[in-house]
Structure 1
Amino acid sequence: MPPSKKRLVPLAGALAALALFAGCDTPETPDGTLFGKTQVFLNGSRASVRTEETNLGDLTADAYLWFARKTDPSTVLSFRNSGGIRESIDTGEISQADIEKSLPFNNALVLVTVTAAQLEQVLEHGVAAVAPEVTAGQFPQVSGLRFEYDASKPAQVFDLDGNLLTEGERIRQAVLVDGSGNVLDTLVSNGALVGDPHRTFRMVTLDFVVAFGGDYYPFPLFELQDAARYHLVPLDTTPDNQGFNDAGREQKAFADYLAATWPTSGPGYAEADTPKEADTRIKSVGP
């Protein structure tokens, strides 16, 4: 949590989060259960994934968007915090054990609707903690979205009650894109919100950031403001965390996406991780 961001998570939410994570351990799984293949190293190292776009961050966000669209084709973007990515995945076939080690919390996926103004706030919070030597878990990984930020600009600040004190000026450009990279909607241009601030976007994210305000994201505030518009839909329809094969959670969604898109019988995923200055979904443009 950055020094300027001191909003507290309610005790009930914190206890619920602890209960969730207490049940996320799964038995040791043999590497023989394979779901996909990669030609390149998938970067999930803390120093990288919490400070810049990485190919593993892209791949997981792509998987969640792919999965969410099966339930709601109107879903346009996928957004996740980086703190839940804990291991890289080596070149070669990708096993169940690889997935469990990389995504150990196995968070549930949820659909929510946010306004343009709220999405800008989410992005501002995603980069609010960016600073030298800081590896904050709130740093985002995305799909269906490209944005540029300048960490030298003022960061977003909330007070202890969740009131927005400083809107933040770090997001300089942001656009919604399709699978081919074509721009569908311009959200932010030259640091200013573009168009109707009340227009809405359907997005998939993790229950950690939505239900519990994990990494202090403002999603719970959005639901309080207008629950009907927010329209939260859990994609996991079974009680608690049932483990790797629990449909609607990130491990299974990622495994199914790999099997459907980058199967072991094919050439494998081939997008090598790039240096920060060459990233395309998330670009740092500050000094």
Structure 2
Amino acid sequence: MSTPRSRLLPATAALGVVALTAGLASPAAAGDGDQRHGPGNGDFTLTILHNNDGESSLLPTAVDTDADGTDDAEYGGIARFVGKVDALRRAAYVDGDRGKPTKRGVVTLNSGDNFLAGTTFQASQQEGAPFYDALAQNLVRYDALGVGNHEFDFGPAVFGELVEDVKRTPFVSANLDYSAEESLDGLEQLVPSTVVRERGQEIGVVGLTTPSLPTISSPGDVEVLTDLAGIAQEQVDLLTEQGIDKIVLVSHLQGLSSEIELVGSLTDVDVVVGGGGDEILADGSTQLFPGDADDVYGEYPQIATDADGVEVPVVTTPGNYRYVGQLAVTFDADGVVVDIADDSGIKVVTDTGAEAVGTNRKAERTIEQPVADFEAALAEEIVATSEVVLDCERSEVRGVEANCGNLIADAHLWTAQEAAADFGLDTPQVAIQNGGGIRGEIDQEAGPVSVADTFRLQPFGNFVAIAEDVPVETFRQILEEGAFRLPESGDGAFVQAAGFSYTVDTSYPARDADQSTGEQFAPGERVRSVVLDDGTVLVEDGVSVDGTVDVAGLNFSLNGGDAYPTLENTTIGVSDQQSLENFLVDGLGGVVSQADYPRGGEGRITIM
């Protein structure tokens, strides 16, 4: 291990915009001019433009900002995002403010989740169509891309297609070993770290991916290593031994608190760009997407303390191409961070207000227009009418009974029951739907339901499957895994139910399982009752009966996704989206009724 660099960021140093979180020391706010570090001959200002969790949100969102019924502002969209990055990049190079270092450079980074199942991905699957997300990333001109969990949602081979189509850009992740995965082994762009050369300077970029990847996605034979601190430090040390004294960690750990905690075990990392949590880092002067002001996590940047007591800025952005992060850090000749510019922060992608910017015409023509045309065609195919608003928001389907979850779980149970005999399988009595597999993330308004809506809600292309003769206690532990974080909402393992009802008492011990492998260390005791719709009791007073149940669900879940117990199962050749569409048309006769799917549910799940 190299000797840690001496870095000048004492608690009294002026850091420009600093952020506070519970448990973190507060550096002094920027004061008068004699506190600030003056420009030195060897100073170099590096502007890091960054984003994360783009998740195939390539089309803009029109917003009625004054409630007059007319959309009068536009946010996001890959064409305007590219325009925003280009504008910020130009400004960073030509910034001529007095007192600032004359040596300047820019790197553009991304910390993962570079595409997502849904209509954009379906558009890319049409004959002759390009991989639209790859086109987008090429136009942004990233210097390095992180690797998130959604890259593997369709398996490693599809991720490999993205890598090959994103020309000459490295994908960095030091804790993923691709050597046993034939579809990825040998792709030269998949690296643990990379070096970006910018204006005569060398910037090291190290990547990390969430260790929970095997249970929340489908990485195939990719080995996911879990010693994040040791693996990252090894890469950092290799870079410092090469004389590289400016190092950025790009990590996708599903929440900024994980990045902040990790910094405490590292040395010689200058900046961390996190992903997966969608945290909003802003202050009162930051222009935001409408409604985001209510969800601000803290100021930009957050400040963590490394193993040597050195303060390290940690940043992230909300996803969906609605923001570009801009962190301008100044290094002295020894590679020591001596200043963070006051204008650092997240910059909203919009056509209105102080942050307004134009669009990139090539992105409009080659990406947004064909994707919009594809989605418009799907939106015109109406398959049902809903008499009720369907509660499909993330916090609802991942923590409480929601009529949206009931509808989708019912769809998969109906699909499995209709097909079971054709496959020589028992007819399942129950179905489970993990909350994380419901992707709408906005309520489905009452009215027409289109094919586009079904893709929005069930986009992953997982298949309905049946597991026969599942021991009741094993089935119960699936429900326990979904309940282990309650009463907090937001865990993708939370189980929406069909064919049964269950009660959870959060005062009892939760299931303890390895979130990377699903290995159970201790069973949960929170699920106190499980009753089939026909009145058969499976669990009473926290005790499972000695028997079995036939279970339907998506193959991702029955194969141990979300750290569920793994069940031997048979897929029946119907995708998640097809199952929902067929149920709406044939199972419900084209009508989602208020009586069958009331808002707030019908008592399938009780949480105490």
Could you state the TM-score of these two structures normalised by the residue count of structure 2?
A: 0.37
2:413 is aligned to 65
2:471 is aligned to 115
**Whole-Å separation in 1 of the counterparts to 2:460 and 2:493:** 15
1:282 aligns with 2:605: yes
1:21-76 superposed Cα distances (whole Å, 9 cap, x missing partner): xxxx9952432211111100011101111111111111111111111111226211
Conservation of the 8 A alpha-carbon contact between 1:149 and 1:283: yes
**Whole-Å separation in 1 of the counterparts to 2:399 and 2:518:** 25
**Whole-Å separation in 1 of the counterparts to 2:599 and 2:379:** 28
Aligned partner of 2:419: which letter? T
SS in 2 for 1:257: helix
**1:165: how far off?**
2.1
| 1:54-203 aligned within 5 A | 54-72=402-420, 74-87=427-440, 88-113=443-468, 114-132=470-488, 134-159=489-514, 162-177=518-533, 182-183=534-535, 185-194=536-545, 196=546, 199-203=547-551
Conservation of the 8 A alpha-carbon contact between 1:37 and 1:262: no
- Flag the 1:258–1:130 CA change in 2: closer, same or farther, 3 A: same
**Whole-Å separation in 2 of the counterparts to 1:235 and 1:98:** 23
Q: CA RMSD in A?
A: 2.6
Aligned partner of 1:51: which letter? G
**Whole-Å separation in 2 of the counterparts to 1:201 and 1:186:** 11
- Flag the 1:102–1:175 CA change in 2: closer, same or farther, 3 A: same
Conservation of the 8 A alpha-carbon contact between 2:477 and 2:564: no
**1:262: how far off?**
3.3
Conservation of the 8 A alpha-carbon contact between 2:434 and 2:493: yes
1:240 is aligned to none
**Whole-Å separation in 1 of the counterparts to 2:444 and 2:414:** 20
1:269 aligns with 2:474: no
Conservation of the 8 A alpha-carbon contact between 1:7 and 1:158: no
**Whole-Å separation in 2 of the counterparts to 1:281 and 1:190:** 17
1:258 is aligned to 584
**1:173: how far off?**
0.9
SS in 1 for 2:461: coil
1:116-173 superposed Cα distances (whole Å, 9 cap, x missing partner): 12111111111112233x4001001110110000122110012476543221110011
**Whole-Å separation in 2 of the counterparts to 1:250 and 1:32:** 20
Aligned residues: 237
Conservation of the 8 A alpha-carbon contact between 1:38 and 1:262: no
Which ranges of structure 2 fall in alignment gaps of 5 or more residues? 1-210, 223-370, 422-426
State, as a whole percentage, how many aligned pairs show the same letter: 28
**Whole-Å separation in 2 of the counterparts to 1:78 and 1:279:** 16
SS in 1 for 2:214: coil
1:234-278 superposed Cα distances (whole Å, 9 cap, x missing partner): 111xxxxxxxxxxx01111111111124334xx642245444xx7
1:157-193 superposed Cα distances (whole Å, 9 cap, x missing partner): 124765432211100111111xxxx31x211111112
Conservation of the 8 A alpha-carbon contact between 1:65 and 1:204: yes
**Whole-Å separation in 2 of the counterparts to 1:148 and 1:115:** 19
1:210-235 superposed Cα distances (whole Å, 9 cap, x missing partner): 33x3211111xx4xxxxxxx4x2111
**Whole-Å separation in 2 of the counterparts to 1:96 and 1:8:** 30
SS in 2 for 1:72: helix
**1:16: how far off?**
6.9
More relative contact order, 1 or 2 (CA 8 Å, 6+ apart): 1
Could you state the TM-score of these two structures normalised by the residue count of structure 1?
A: 0.75
**Whole-Å separation in 2 of the counterparts to 1:261 and 1:209:** 23
Conservation of the 8 A alpha-carbon contact between 2:466 and 2:552: yes
1:14 is aligned to 219
Which ranges of structure 1 fall in alignment gaps of 5 or more residues? 1-5, 18-24, 223-229, 237-247
Conservation of the 8 A alpha-carbon contact between 2:415 and 2:464: no
- Flag the 1:163–1:47 CA change in 2: closer, same or farther, 3 A: closer
Conservation of the 8 A alpha-carbon contact between 1:108 and 1:234: yes
Conservation of the 8 A alpha-carbon contact between 1:35 and 1:263: no
Conservation of the 8 A alpha-carbon contact between 2:479 and 2:494: no
SS in 2 for 1:215: helix
